Structure 1
Amino acid sequence: MKKQAILTQSKLGLAIALALAGPFAYAQQQEQTSDTAIEEVVTTGARLQGSAAAVVEERKAQAFVADILGAEQISRTGDSDAAAALRRVTGLTLVDGKFIYVRGLGERYSSTQLNGASVPSPDPTRNVIPLDMFPASIIESMAVQKSYSPDMPANFGGGNVDIRTISIPTEETFEVSVGTGWNTNFSDDGLTYAGGDDDWLGKDDGTRALPQAMRDALARYQESINTASIASYEGISFAEAAAINRQLGASLNTQNEVYSKSLSPDIKGSLTYGNSYDTGHDVTFGFLAGVDYDNSWTNNEETEEVLGIANGETVVNQRSETRVTTQDVELSGILNFGIKVGDYHRLEASTIFLRNTADRVEQGGIETPNSIDETDLSYYDTDIRYEQRELLTNQIRGSHYFPQLAGFALDWQYADSRASRDAPGEIFYRQINNRDLGEGIGELAFQQTRTATTLQYQTLKDDAQDWRVDGELPWYVGDMEVLLKGGGQVSKKARSSFSRRYALSAEQVANEELVGVDYNDLFSDANILDDDFGLALYGAPTSTDPNYLAAQQIEAGYGMADVQLNSDWRISGGVRWEQYTQVAAQLDIRSMTMIGDIKEAGRVEDDLYGSLAVTYALNDEMQLRFGYGSTVVRPDLRELTEVIFVDPLTDFKVRGNSDLVTTDIDNFDVRWEWYLPSGENYSVAMFYKDLANPIEAVEAKGTDSDRVITFLNGQSGEVYGVEFEFLKDLTALTDGLFVSGNLTLSDSEISIANTGNVELTNNTRRMTGHSKYVTNLQLGYDSLNGEHSASLIYNVAGERIAFAGVKQGELGIDDAFEQPFHSLDLVYTFYPDFNSKVKFKVQNMLGEDVEIEQNGRLIQSRSVGTSFTLEYSYAF
């Protein structure tokens, strides 16, 4: 809050910023604030309060229900990225290590902002940005707002996550850290290949990409490089065209033989430097720069079964046992500049760069013991995938206060962001395993098929611009304090997605050449160029290729008021108007035109969305909150295009649905909060959400050994529950000991009717991804001499539906449930001197695995292992 408008809140906001070594803008206001206001914060004192209670003060001052997670709290739990840290927040669960479910609602029902601005996503099947892209080292705090306010986007279901990056320091600061890590799964050899061994930067050097010769040919032959297409275009003989085709096949990188290797320890490090300068003439300038690097490995054993119905019984149509090794390299950088002119005007500019690369190799046996068309066959599959995700965002924001205009304050921000995903050279090949089922690996033989090996090249670009302006004006009526606020926002997003898939055919290769041969030898340049050997390159666009263009624009304006009626009552609320325009259509890559009627591919909606929040102070320590909000959740860009895409996280084929409609949500919240002077706090909250036309991912009809996921609107849905949270000082047991935690108990229900393409076993059930309980507990210790700090952290979420069961004929397979994962972590920190810190972490101490059960069977499992991390940092 600006100046004296709602004075108590202003002091708290300033106090929190100071306590958290917060943004440059707030820190520079220290000169204007009385000693009394600062002393109110300083006296909260101990490490217990310093690590958690400071952000609790911000939560207490919020008009709407919110949870705040500060940098010190993230450090205590040892979480390395935003996604892992957010699972500690009340009612939040982590899915796939990347996405946050708020109050049991899937990632589509949560929105993400970066310093208050919307950001694009590099995920090909979701609009929501994967939160594992944000390393903890660049995060100052995260705010999870669970009740809707009009100054936020109306696309709000479970909640909104605002990631606030580190900002300008008030004095010179420098911090460097280095670390290493090891996982118990490293005791087994991992998998790698020639193109991906020990790439410490992770970035592709062009080896995996389409060669220039292939690009030129695609342009010349309108994307079809089959022999017949080349012959027709050039007017030459089939034999001459086949020679050109073989030259193109040889230009591709086909030397990707997989082999075993011992895995190296993880390596990580970060460096941050910043300073501020008083340049005179009432102008202060500051900057901060930081870089973060992490090179890590995962090595997992995975099993999967696909169930079916045969003779009235549940049978296994497909079974697999594979090893998956992934090298993840993360590189991020942040550069902030800030300038303060006089006492009332400031500007900040931020550039944030995030790059995550994953080099993944999966290899193992596949069996089809009961498949209708492939009875009792055994295969050995190899799947090599590389993806590079990047986010570059430039933000500039200003804040201005005009005392001569009755204390009017103006904030504005512009953000330009670009996200991309590049997945070049995805390689898959299947070999027949000539042995009886269950007897290990026999002699392997490539198949005499058109798709003896496939190579896929995918690119995605997501560009976003976000403009917003907010104005505040304090107004006093007797003892009543009123803060009027209004503003507008325009958000634009454009996405393009391209995918090309090629295959090397072995249809004309002699059978004896396919048995017991290595991949590199079979698909060598010599064999490809040999017109007598029989290899040929295939690739031409089809109507089902996952190529599409999409765009979205949201224009919004809002007005709201925050009224402090007296010392007991506070009422906040208002209305937001949004106009939503979106188009998403399949693309013909040959002509770069959209397929179908552009009018049918677009939609325009506009509506009003209101909210109301009431806070009643029972006394100086307790308060009650009541909240209501009317919001929506709209289909993702990708979900409206009816083409099939492979989800890189689940490996499921995903098909869009152009008939999806917007979900309307009524949100209700009640929360009781108790904040003690010692820093202890307790809260109990109840929530209810009524959803009209909720969107769910469901399994569509496919083959008996394949899963195809699509999206449907249900008729209705509801989510309701209760949340408990506490922070308790245990110095009565021993000095420096405290415990904190939270518990969420909830339930949900959704009703979805069957369609011709979807036949669900249970038309009324819990919502996908919803857990009936989520628990977080932390036992913390801080020595009185300040040299030692330790935390034992436990997290678990109840079973949740991974995907809904479907009918086969008159019989149905039950829903598949992901089982509870009991996470127990230990973090110990030693402070040898004022500037140094040594941190030791043990994660997944119980050695839990990720497991999914269906019809009483374990159908998916993934070993996680126990990881150990040691870090050293130095700061001044």
Structure 2
Amino acid sequence: MKNQLAFASLLAITTCLVAPAAFAQAADGSPQTASPPPAAQAPSETPQDAEQAPEREVEISAPGAGGEEYGDIVVIGRNIPNVVRSTPQVVSVLSAEDIARTGEGDIAGALQRVTGLSVVGAGYVYVRGLGDRYSLSLLNGLPLPSPEPLRRVVPLDIFPTSVIGSSLVQKTFSTNYPGEFGGGVINLTTKAIPEKSFISMGASVGFDLETTSELGYTYDGGKHDWLGYDSGTRKTPGFVLQAGADRATIPTSQAVNLTNAETTVLFENYHIPPNFSGEMSLGASTDMGGVRLGVIAGGGINNTWRTRDAVSGVRSIPSTTFRRVTTDHRALVNGLLGFGAEFGEHRIRFTNLYIHDTLKQGRLGAGTAENFESPIDGKAPVMEQNTNWFERQLFTSQVVGEFDFGALDVDVRGAYANTKRKSPYERAFRYLYDAGIGDYRNTLNGGSYATVAFSDLNENLWAGGIDFAYDLNLGRPFSLQAGYAYQDTDRSSYRYTFDYVMPGGSALPDPYSQMRPDFLLSDYTLQTNGIVLRPSTTSQGARAYDAELTTHAGYAQIEGEIADGMRVTAGVRYETADQTVVPTDNLPATVLSNDYWLPAATLTWNFAPDMQWRLNASKTIARPQFRELAPQQYLDYDSDRVFYGNPFLVDSKLTNIEARYEWFFGKDQRITAAGFFKKIEDPIETVSFQVAGSNSTQINFANAPEAQLYGGEIELQKYVPLDFINNDLFTNRRLVLIANYTYTHSEVFAGNELIRDPINPGSVTRPANQIFVSGQPLVGQSDHLVNLQLGIEDTTKLSQLTFLFNYASDRIVARGLLSGGGLPPIVERPGVRLDFVLRQGFNVLGGEWELKLEGRNLTGTRFVEFQDYGGTTGIADTNSFDQGRIFSIGLSTKF
């Protein structure tokens, strides 16, 4: 436990950094509110007898027209589920019932149970080990912009499972989907017209044994922080925006107007609150004439706390030690409002989704660092403090029309989406220990500093498309499909960083230099010493950039039964794109204008009533993300690594082949096995190197010449009735076994080809084998992924007990630059996790109730990142910490 660890270096300096009132606040329990375990699920449809229950229809809204009609093409597959039969592609589908069984509160958590999928970092889903740039996330078949400056795709942990009706993962490319399709597409479908009117509500509370009622660090902020909204405390003054845009110095007279103590003072809190969540939803439907109308609305709030006591901050110097305690308070608010109409075979849905996700962070660290001596007088020579506020918001409004005119089906889709990320008052302080005075000092020059940063990202996306499907009368079922899609994304981003400095570069004298941060930056200290805010000299690159991506695409494909039980889908997609990133400060801009012909074909052989083979081949692409192209420095506070873009990146091109066998031996029961191969030209990889004169690691991006990936996966879903046990308790119960395993092997190939150097891409080229090691895996790829769900459930009512096992083998998160030091790659070790979920339904007061108990990370698996230097140096931790076991209890009801 962190408060039992030998962390004397931190505790010894809290008198310098932590306000005395902290101990009084700790005794009061701190005013901050708590965090959310997975949101309580409303009672879902209970399991039915595997042989007698009718086939459930899973509602899926995806690109393309006439999807439900395709089921008639293959007439042999009587035991093959409708969703699988109705698509010629390799898909995995999580229905609302499947999601509920996992007990996860967000879609990212639920998806990691799908064959070949893993979750990396904060909710980013990797398909078969391919990074998030190779994944495509859609909502009701329409794209979403990302609120993260480092990512193209939306982190899926911001989507609560309560608003999602189904999740489809398609691993083979079909031409009705966008061409940026490397590993797969994840299509989320929101709930639409309810079958009957309902009101549901629920709440849960959770306890993290590594965080709840343990030592953490917090700061005041504003009175609405528990909701994730700033109350005005952090409003960015106009003079800051002007100075940032002009790269001008902010004089003392303006510097004193920044919010100080509320964004600066860390408090010790020995009573970090428990997690909590609450949600409410309602739906209604009615028939008016021949039209069925429906509305569904919902909202929820989650509060989560997590404290990490990590060895981090110093890479590539194994002899150094740096320890940092970070407390994250995450507040997530979501709302959904949807309207639907069904008339005849037609359906229209109007969906509005709002998600507001905020992370409030306090960090305190101490240890040794580059260019500093070993501990002095038993004290760490360097101490650092950070207070941060990351506010993300996603809003989308979508209209989807699905029309069936007999032989002709037409789908029309349109959407507007906006994402924002605001991070005002990112404060950082560094104090150095002075043995002469026996105290820590911050002289605002040299190795000690005080900085404040303001950043903002805004992205707008407009998307639309139309799809046609026409059933041809050729004696056998055939369908001709075609469509057009348009997407325009505009992003503007700035990051302004300022250093507090003395005039003329002199050192702040004593006793001011010994003051804690809020006194150090008080009006009196600033005015007495003439301290100003100067644009940071350590923040490299562009202060701001504007980016745009516009795509036009058209496709045509034919699908039909070419022989009894044999179906083929073949088509081609033409896609043209113009992508620009224009930075400030006379840095190089990026202009990419490319067009591609992307063919795809799938052959499905339904050779028995319950078995089929699939074979798919396709070509796809992966474009560089805006952030990978922008020459702007950005610090990821989760990993303590600095990222910097490369304006000279180019598109990656993929060739994909997959073969798959499927045996559906009973309702909702199956065995599937697949083999896959991918060849990637110019894959974009992250490269890490040591920043000169610093203890930090920087991550840049570079195109490797080539990479290949191959592997296989196997999945089993089986139900075993337990009525053979001579006990009434087991009469209606069955054993549920869901297991899958994925093996993936990838290699990067690098020879003497000249490529742009990731550190100086504009002026230096190097042989590729000076940057990449041939044979190393792609970044983010685990060789082995294992998921196991073992449970007992009642087939007549809601009563489930499920154990969930997950394992992922080591994966590289950033490879080391070979030249100039030869750093080993940074490797993450996800390890083994074991969870359990207990769901019990009962009826009280005329309502359906559900009690849910959860235990997460029962194995107590640590988060581990390391570099292996070999020899006598051995392994050095780069970012490792204990992850707590989390236990939660939730109660929900539905009327």
Taking structure 1 as the reference length, the TM-score comes to: 0.86
- In structure 2, the partner of 1:224 is 248
Question: CA 1:380 to 1:472, structure 2 compared with 1: closer, same or farther past 3 Å?
Answer: same
The equivalences for 1:444-459 within 5 A come to 444-449=440-445, 452-459=449-456
- Answer yes or no: is the 8 Å Cα contact 1:774–1:796 preserved in 2: yes
Name the residue aligned to 2:681.
Answer: 692
1:810-829 maps to which residues of 2 (within 5 A)?
Answer: 812-829=822-839
Match of 1:339 in 2: 341
How far off is 1:397 after superposition?
1.3
Secondary structure of the residue aligned to 2:628 is: helix
Once the two structures are superposed, what CA deviation does each residue of 1:835-870 show, in whole Å capped at 9, x if it has no partner?
A: 000101010001111102222414120221011111
Query: Using a 3 Å threshold, how does the CA distance of structure 1 residues 729 and 510 change in structure 2: closer, same or farther?
Result: closer
Structure 2 gaps of 5+ residues are 1-51, 726-732, 760-769, 869-873
Q: CA offsets, 1:311-347, max 9 Å, x none?
A: xxxx526431111101100001111112234x14332
**Correspondence for 1:472:** 469
Matched residue, 1:781: 792
Secondary structure of the equivalent of 1:352? strand
Query: Does the 8 A contact of 2:702 with 2:756 survive in 1?
Result: no
| Structure 1 residue 644 displacement after superposition | 2.2
* Contact preservation (8 Å) 2:791, 2:802: yes
Q: Which residue of 1 aligns with 2:384?
A: 381
Local SS of the residue matching 1:747: strand
TM-superposed CA distance for 1:24, in Å, is: 11
Matched with 1:3 is none
Alpha-carbon distance in 1 for matches of 2:704, 2:208: 42
Could you list the per-position Cα deviations for residues 655-690 of structure 1 after superposition, in whole angstroms to 9, with x for gaps in the alignment? 211221111111001110000134321011000001
- SS of the aligned residue for 1:835 comes to strand
Residues 604-635 of structure 1 show CA distances to partners (whole Å, capped at 9, x for unaligned) of 11121000101111210111110011111111
Bigger drift between 788-797 and 600-609 goes to 600-609
In the alignment, structure 1 residue 246 sits paired with structure 2 residue 252: yes
How far the C-alpha of 1:248 sits from its partner, in A, is: 0.7
Checking the alignment, whether the CA contact within 8 Å between 1:317 and 1:705 is kept in structure 2 is no
- Verify the 8 A CA contact 1:693 1:715 in the aligned structure 2: yes
In 1, distance between residues paired with 2:703 and 2:428? 34
Q: Render the CA deviation track for 1:787-822: whole Å, top value 9, x for unaligned.
A: 52110000011111122123465x633222211321
1:112 has 2:121 as partner = no
Cα contact 1:508–1:535 (8 A) shared by 2: no
Question: RMSD between aligned alpha carbons?
Answer: 2.9
Greater RCO, CA 8 A, separation 6+:
2
Given the superposition, is the C-alpha separation of residues 172 and 203 from structure 1 closer, same or farther in structure 2, using an over 3 Å criterion?
same
| Contact 2:493–2:545 (Cα < 8 Å) also in 1 | yes
* Shift, 1:645, TM fit: 2.2
2:840 is aligned with what amino acid?
F
Is 1:751 aligned to 2:749, yes or no?
yes
Contact 1:760 1:812 in 2 (8 A): no
Q: 1:24 to 1:717 in 2, by over 3 A?
A: closer
Instruction: Find the counterpart in structure 1 of residue 396 from structure 2.
Output: 393
> For the structure 1 residues 69 and 117, does the alpha-carbon distance in structure 2 shift closer, same or farther, using more than 3 Å as the test?
same
Cα separation, 2, equivalents of 1:550 and 1:824: 42
Superposition map of 1:482-561 within 5 A: 482-506=478-502, 508=506, 510-530=508-528, 533-539=529-535, 544-561=541-558
- The alignment partner of 1:468 has SS state of strand
Does the C-alpha gap of structure 1 residues 521 and 673 become closer, same or farther in structure 2, counting only changes over 3 Å?
Answer: same
2:886 aligned to which of 840, 857, 867: 867
State the one-letter code of the partner of 2:90: V
CA distance in 2, matches of 1:373, 1:606: 53
Pick from 765, 782, 787 the counterpart of residue 776 of structure 2: 765
Q: 1:23 to 1:124 in 2, by over 3 A?
A: closer
Correspondence for 1:705 among 687, 691, 695: 695
Partner Cα separation in structure 2 for residue 107 and residue 278 of structure 1: 43
> In the alignment, is the contact (CA less than 8 A) between 1:16 and 1:57 conserved in 2?
no
Matched residues in 1 for 2:347 and 2:756: separation?
Answer: 57
Shift of 1:713: 1.0
Counterpart of 1:7?
none
Aligned AA (1:424): P
AA aligned to 2:641 is F
Post-superposition Cα deviations, 1:173-202, rounded to whole Å, max 9, x if no partner, equal 221111111100124221111215782211
Structure 2 residue corresponding to 1:840, chosen from 853, 859, 862: 853
Change beyond 3 A, Cα 1:635–1:373: same
Aligned-pair distance for 1:707?
Answer: 1.2
Q: Which amino acid aligns with 2:94?
A: L
CA contact (8 A) 1:352 1:394 kept: yes
- How do 1:419-434 residues align onto structure 2 when only pairs under 5 Å count? 419-434=419-434
Quick one: distance in 2 between partners of 1:435 and 1:683?
A: 67
Q: Identify if the C-alpha distance between structure 1 residues 764 and 208 changes in structure 2 by more than 3 Å, giving closer, same or farther.
A: same
Which residue number in structure 1 is paired with residue 736 of structure 2?
Answer: 738
| Secondary structure of 2:99's aligned partner | helix
Change (3 A) 1:803 1:775: same
CA 1:708–1:546 in structure 2 vs 1: closer, same or farther (change >3 Å)? Answer: farther
* Distance in 2 between residues matched to 1:96 and 1:838, nearest whole Å: 30
How far off its partner does 1:710 sit? 1.1
CA distance in structure 1 between the aligned counterparts of 2:648 and 2:737, rounded to whole angstroms: 49
* 8 Å contact from structure 1 (residues 120, 129) kept in 2: yes
1:522–1:720: structure 2 CA closer, same or farther, 3 Å change rule? same
Give yes or no for the alignment of 1:641 onto 2:630: yes
Asked if 1 retains the 8 angstrom alpha-carbon contact of 2:512 and 2:525, the reply is: no
Shift of 1:761: 6.8
Q: Check 1:517–1:688 CA distance in 2 against 1; reply closer, same or farther (3 A cut).
A: same
Aligned residue number for residue 45 of structure 2:
none
| Match status 1:144 vs 2:169 | yes
Unpaired runs of at least 5, structure 1: 1-14, 45-52, 227-244, 309-314, 589-594
- Mapped partners of 2:86, 2:411: distance in 1: 20
Task: Specify the SS of the correspondent of 2:700.
Answer: strand
Given that 2:816 and 2:824 are in contact with CA atoms closer than 8 Å, whether structure 1 keeps it comes out as: yes
Residue deviations 1:386-409 (CA, integer Å, cap 9, x gap): 011001000011122223xxx211
Query: Aligned-pair distance for 1:783?
Result: 3.1
**Structure-1 residue corresponding to 2:665:** 676
Would the aligned equivalents of 1:418 and 1:461 in 2 still touch at CA under 8 Å?
Answer: yes
2:669 partner amino acid: E
The aligned residue for residue 236 of structure 2 is: 210
* Pair 1:847–1:596, CA change in 2 (3 A): closer
For residues 469 and 441 of structure 2, the distance between their equivalents in structure 1, rounded to whole angstroms, comes to 72
1:225–1:540 CA contact under 8 A, matched in 2: no
Q: 1:19 to 1:667 in 2, by over 3 A?
A: same
Partner of 1:169, secondary structure, is: coil
Distance 2:223 2:813 in 1: 33
CA distance in 2, matches of 1:602, 1:814: 33
Q: Which amino acid aligns with 1:662?
A: D
**Does structure 2 retain, via aligned residues, the 8 Å contact 1:24–1:170?**
no
Maintained 8 Å contact 2:224/2:230? no
Aligned partner of 1:279 among 264, 283, 288: 288
User: d(CA) in 2 for partners of 1:766 and 1:422?
Assistant: 35
Say how many residue pairs are matched: 792
Q: Deviations over 1:572-616 (max 9, x none)?
A: 11000000111112125xxxxxx367xx63121112100010111
